[in-house]
Amino acid sequence: MKKTAEKLYGAAAGQAFDGGRDAFLQAALQAVSARFVLDGASFYEFDEKNGLLRLRLRQASGVAFEHEDNIRPSPGSAAERALESMQTAAASSPGGKFLYFPFMFDTSDPSGGKNAVTCTGLIRLERSPRRRRFSASEAAKADAFLRSFLRDYYKVEFFSLTRKYDKNVSAITELTEVFATALRVRDSFRRILAGIQTYFGFDRVRLYLIDEKNHKLKGELSADIRGQIKSISYEEIPLEAGAHRFADIVLGRSSGAFMERYKDCVLYMPLAVQGVTIGLLIVDNLLSQQRIEPQELAMLKSFGGQIALAVDNARLFEKVEELSLYDELTKLPLRRYFNQRFQEEFYRAERFKQPLALLWADVDHFKEVNDTYGHQIGDVALKEVGRIILGNLRKIDFPCRYGGDEIVILLPQATGAEALRLAQRLSEELSELRIPVPFSKTRELKVSLSIGVSTFPQDASTLETMLEKADDALYWVKSHGRGKIALYSDVAEDAKKTAAGGTNDAGQK
Amino acid sequence: MKIWLLSDYDHRKHLAFKSMLARYSAAFPDAGAEFSVKSRRSMWESLFAHLRDPKRNPLADIIEIPQNWTELFSRLGLFADLALKVEALERRRFPGFILTELCRHDEARAFSAPWWLEAPALFARPRALEGVCAEPWAELASWEGFRAALDRLPGGNKKRGIRALAAPNSSGAVCPADVLPRVWGRRGGLFSDDFNRATFTREETAGGIEDWLELAVSGKIELFSPDRFENGPMPVEQCAFVISSRRLPRQCRPGAAARGRAGQRGAKAGPGRRSPGELKVLPYPGCSAGGGLALVYNLAVSASTEDLSGAAAFVGWALEPENLGPFTGSFGVFPCVKAAFEECLQDEGEEETYRKIFSAPELMPNIMAYPTAELLLERALWNLSLKIARRDYDREDLTRELIMAQGEADYLLSLY
């Protein structure tokens, strides 16, 4: 059999199996054109639903090309006869001499079904009007030739399925690893989206997560077809029925009408962990308008649980990290975290000869507040102080709840004067704060801070001395009436003057 | 070097490119070049396939594209900036109307080189209009006049292969290339002027589409016609009207009969004598004052090519008037380079009409969402074509399809 086939159409077909369906059919048209000295050969698929012959490929004057044309064969025409009888039919018209070869072969179901789908159509062999018509013996030979060629079509399908299988195996192996190892939120979301794009290559993938506290669906990240990832945190959707179709999907209230319309090029995949929806993954091919292969959809859906788990794990990890590094009450970093950052900033300031300032603040009479109004009111006071501090800092500043009511703020690249300005701003904003205390006589509580400031390199040359000097400045404020701000260099100057018998004027209010 | 060429209903384009490439290979024997021809759909799919999986789906080094694909694929990083690589891309070498859509946001860059263009026009056979139109050229200036003339023409005689109207580039169904010239003629479009919303359902747009569909509904053009399939291409001289963006074959141009008779048979020739096959070119009905649609095709170089200089050199060579002219002339289109374009107009028997057509043509907007919007329109037109062919079409179908397409296009605009 192999010898017969080779004799019929040579080695060209053998090379075309791996190139996909079009390459194989192109090879068939080339081979038949050469063998029967044709002026043209065309490959038409039959669209049975609409009764149309749809031109896909042509070979003419030594040029092979793809082309599209849609024709409804005339009733009783040779083309229609060939399709109906599945027998080769010849025809002659002012346009030329034609031989219609009907074919039928099985392909894998493009919609993902398990059964093979039959593809029918015609290959038209063409000669110009001036040339001879196809004889009966030529028609028989051409029929045998093409039948023999197309008999090997299954090999193209085999190669194609093997490639798909390989791709799926790689996707399963590598994506599972990505989902299992993703830990930190930003990083893991990026890796998940990048992983999906590497293996599926959608026009776009978007990840939205539910913000339970604010009752919103919040945009996280979007990855485009090139794998470029950007934040979509500006997208916030109220989690209410009817507010947005994404909200409806997450809430399980979608009518499904629009999902049905876009089902070929959009997949909305709610992410759920243990029955609780935590977000929504949306993939689409809207820009290219290309159909998402059903197998790809099925595979991505099968990853849904893992993706949801990976996203949830990353969020839990972040939560645990936050709890270990941040004070839950004031939302300020804890001392352990501060020490690490302080070392880094001090090293940077030393190396690049940049100024560094340190504020050490203490809530005035905090013990009395707790004792008089109770710890609940004390906690509110601390929470408010934390809020005001966080609202007044630059991105590079680093505050910390150092312990109890003591708060330290690291100000990279800030001089003493700049640190004093910040301290002043904090004091002013705090002075306007009133904490309601319904059961007290005054019905409200005022809060003030005593603040000591030290600077590098003026006041200290080491990390420890910097802390020490800021504490000294704070001590000076506390011993001089509280609610003030003092810069260590002024305190030191004042101490010298006092020792020399002068007046003290270091504190600022 | 690999080149992807867009397929054309006129097979002479592929042959002309083959011989152009042979000339290039002869001039530069070291520059091995081969080409393959892709349908518009297949080209689109191949470009996206590359974006999805570049290793498995490598791009050709040089790619022919409709000019309004440039913004989309350059923004997706597929095309190299040719502004500094191709000397022939110097801006003053192109007619101004082409430059308006070359690079919308950055005049210093050019991600594709304008190559050839065509403009839809109406071709009328004066002999067929005798007794049908009193003042044909005035009547045919408007769509309504053209439509009325078409109605007055005796019905086609299929047996003799004579038709009242032919649209040789039809692919069976009505497609955007069919309807958009009419949409433009009614000052419609797929998007608003500021590109903030889709306007498929706007009266001018829907009306333009409906005008063309009506030709199919009334049987003036036959959808999915087996004619060409069974009888080969219909000679244009057998039609009273032809709507085409291609220039006429020489034998159909005015005066060709006289030239032919005088030259070949020594017969008496005069300006008043017309051959039955002679056709006269007119601006597209409704665009008689210019402002119609021109379709431009560009050459782009893949950003991932390993031989950017070689690919750019080929593009430069292909834009040289002495190489471009013969190529475009062979399948009846115009070269984009000004010098060759002018030469082509002067060579054209109906220079004056073509000058009018090209006085202020508009190009399809080169914005990111436009090619997809065309696909949405194509899908709508396909559905409508099937309905018309089944004689199951209703005006409501058009409204419904356009509303759906507009909704999708609007959504797309919100994303890109």
Determine contact, residues B307/B2, Cβ cutoff 8 Å: no
The residue type found at A214 is: N
List pLDDT tens digits, range B120-136. 999 998 888 888 788 88
Q: Which two three-digit tokens encode residue B300?
A: 């782009």
The CATH architecture annotation of domain B2-117+295-357 reads 3-Layer(aba) Sandwich (3.40)
pLDDT of residue B269: 36
Burial class (CB in 10 A: 0-12, 13-18, 19+), A293: middle
- Does residue B108 surpass a pLDDT of 80? no
- Does residue A284 surpass a pLDDT of 60? yes
The CATH architecture annotation of domain A161-325 reads 2-Layer Sandwich (3.30)
- Does residue B376 surpass a pLDDT of 90? yes
* Number of neighbours of residue A377 by Cβ within 10 angstroms: 18
Q: Cβ contact (<8 Å) for A287 and B412?
A: yes
Question: How confident is residue B267, by pLDDT bands cut at 50, 70 and 90?
Answer: very low
Residue whose C-alpha is closest to residue B292's, from B239, B364, B227, B349: B364
Q: Which residues of B touch A204 (CB under 8 A)?
A: 415
Q: Do the domains spanning B2-117+295-357 and B121-283 agree at the CATH topology level? A: yes
CA–CA min distance B123, chain A (Å):
23
Q: Which two three-digit tokens encode residue B227?
A: 């004619």
For chain A, the average pLDDT equals 86
Phi, psi angle pair for A245, to nearest 5°: -65, -30
pLDDT (average), residues A85-113: 85
Q: Are strands A485-487 and A449-456 parallel, antiparallel or unpaired?
A: parallel
Determine contact, residues B334/B328, Cβ cutoff 8 Å: yes
- CATH number 3.40.462 is the correct assignment for the domain at B121-283: no
Share of chain B above pLDDT 70, in %: 88
Share of chain A above pLDDT 70, in %: 92
- Does residue B396 surpass a pLDDT of 90? yes
Cβ-nearest to B171 among A53, A68, A287: A68
Helix (H/G/I), strand (E/B), else coil: A442:
coil
Where along chain A do its domains lie? 2-151, 161-325, 335-499
Does A227 contact B at CB distance below 8 Å? Answer: no
For Cα atoms A482, A487, A491, give the angle at the middle one, nearest 5 degrees: 80
Phi, psi angle pair for A6, to nearest 5°: -65, -40
Phi and psi based region of residue B170 (left: phi greater than 0; alpha: psi -120 to 50; beta: remaining): beta
Distance CA B293, CA B115 (A): 17
CATH number of A335-499: 3.30.70.270
Q: Cβ contact (<8 Å) for B230 and A91?
A: yes
pLDDT of residue B178: 94
Determine contact, residues B102/B70, Cβ cutoff 8 Å: yes
* Number of neighbours of residue A463 by Cβ within 10 angstroms: 18
Q: Which two three-digit tokens encode residue B284?
A: 């597209």
Top-level class of domain A2-151: alpha beta
Distance CA B168, CA B332 (A): 13
Contacts of residue B375, defined as CB under 8 A and 6 or more positions apart, other chains included, come to A289, B44
- Does residue A479 surpass a pLDDT of 80? yes
Query: What kind and span of H or E run contains B337?
Result: none
* Number of neighbours of residue A3 by Cβ within 10 angstroms: 7
Helix (H/G/I), strand (E/B), else coil: B198:
strand
pLDDT of residue A208: 94
List pLDDT tens digits, range A363-405. 999 999 999 889 999 999 999 999 999 999 998 999 999 988 9
- Does residue A111 surpass a pLDDT of 80? no
List pLDDT tens digits, range A424-476. 999 999 999 999 888 877 788 999 999 999 999 999 999 999 999 999 999 99
Contacts of residue B135, defined as CB under 8 A and 6 or more positions apart, other chains included, come to none
- Does residue A282 surpass a pLDDT of 80? yes
| Largest interatomic CA distance in chain A | 129
Q: Of chain A residues 45-104, which have a CB less than 8 A from chain B? A: 50, 52-53, 58, 60-74, 77, 79, 91, 93-96
Where along chain B do its domains lie? 2-117+295-357, 121-283
Does B52 contact A at CB distance below 8 Å? Answer: yes
- Does residue B257 surpass a pLDDT of 60? no
For chain B, the average pLDDT equals 86
Residue B376 C-alpha from the chain's centroid: 19
Count chain A–chain B contacts defined by CB atoms under 8 A: 117
Q: Which two three-digit tokens encode residue B207?
A: 């009306």
β-bridge mates for residue A107, sequence order: A117
- Does residue B71 surpass a pLDDT of 60? yes
Question: How confident is residue A283, by pLDDT bands cut at 50, 70 and 90?
Answer: very high
Cβ-nearest to B226 among A22, A63, A77: A77
Distance CA A471, CA A359 (A): 9
| ipTM here | 0.86
pLDDT (average), residues B176-186: 94
List pLDDT tens digits, range A325-336. 889 899 999 998
pLDDT of residue A3: 45
Distance CA B14, CA B3 (A): 12
Q: Do the domains spanning A161-325 and A335-499 agree at the CATH topology level? A: no
Distance CA A462, CA A446 (A): 36
